[in-house]
Structure 1
């Protein structure tokens, strides 16, 4: 998980606040990966930082707030990759394959440190579907699919369900991909692509 450094022209107080927040998020990610979200307590996360409890609570009031912040920052880092997918995709099949490839590669990179440390709950840390950033990603993917399908004269019977299925497959396969050794990004990409295209074939049909 990368740290967003504040600009140099920002005051010392603001830099300290940004550094403390980043330290909490990094600690939270490590603890969530090690213990699992359900088993983690705020006290566990505080112990992973050099901050006093009083300072900690100036930033977050619960582990749920920390988890959502991690999720949103993860989603923000992934969103630029969707632009790359749009640039490379010429067909609906291309878009799906490239999108899965970029996601699984990004997921592996995001979790490298936790995987090296043998954290048993590393998979999909920071990836949720009920945050503002994830809602934005959902809408962006749906709009992309609709635009590509229209250009290719393919009718999607329900683009919202199709998008939900695409993201659901990514989450489930990504989870299992990170648990396997070696981590097979290409294999996960091919399997996910075939599963969505073959399983969702009835939802997409050529128009005249």
Structure 2
């Protein structure tokens, strides 16, 4: 019986991964808005009704895909922390990792920007079904708060406001009219902002 349960769980995981992979492909080729749940499930070679056993909505799939970049940011921040970096160094590492992910996966950028306003809190139905809302602002905010406590970051500005400004760098770079590559644009803006919040 345990073996049957194990097989069932593996099958469920494979189906979920197939849906995510198909969604990634469809979003890349059709665009997020133009992709329907039926398109995703056809590409996954699964019945459309099966979708709702794993996700509540197309937006929930988007959030799951964006979770990859959250993991990348967290890994970059951990690595910088282990190397003895300051809170400002941790922020720089996290921002750089996010910019790299978005630059290497350009189709994700509009999805990232569309989701950014929803990133503050998971909705009750998302939490209930295990969907992770990307926590970029939360990651930055936590580092900033710790930096303020450590006396590395100025504390006359709320951590939430600084985190919001850092998060908006990607949108500003994405819509920039300057002939500067996306990553360089993000890096320059990041440098200016971090110099402004660093406590002397």
TM-score by length of 2: 0.70
Structure 2 runs not aligned, ≥5 long = 123-131
What is the correspondence of 1:167-178 to structure 2 with a 5 Å cutoff?
167-173=167-173, 175=174
Q: Indicate the residue corresponding to 1:142 in structure 2.
A: 141
Q: Indicate the residue corresponding to 1:166 in structure 2.
A: 166
Structure 1 pair 55/197, CA: closer, same or farther in 2 (3 Å)? Answer: closer
Q: Is the contact made by 1:89 and 1:95 (CA closer than 8 Å) also made in structure 2?
A: no
User: Is the helix fraction higher in 1 or 2?
Assistant: 2
Q: Indicate the residue corresponding to 2:16 in structure 1.
A: 21
What is the correspondence of 1:75-154 to structure 2 with a 5 Å cutoff?
75-88=70-83, 90-91=85-86, 93-109=88-104, 111=105, 121-123=107-109, 125=111, 128-129=115-116, 130-131=118-119, 132=122, 133-134=132-133, 136-152=135-151, 154=153
1:153 deviates by 5.2
In 1: Cα distance, 2:153 partner to 2:70 partner? 29
Structure 1 runs not aligned, ≥5 long = 1-7, 116-120
Structure 1 pair 107/135, CA: closer, same or farther in 2 (3 Å)? Answer: closer
Comparing both chains, which one has the higher relative contact order based on Cα–Cα distances under 8 Å and sequence gaps of 6 or more? Answer: 1
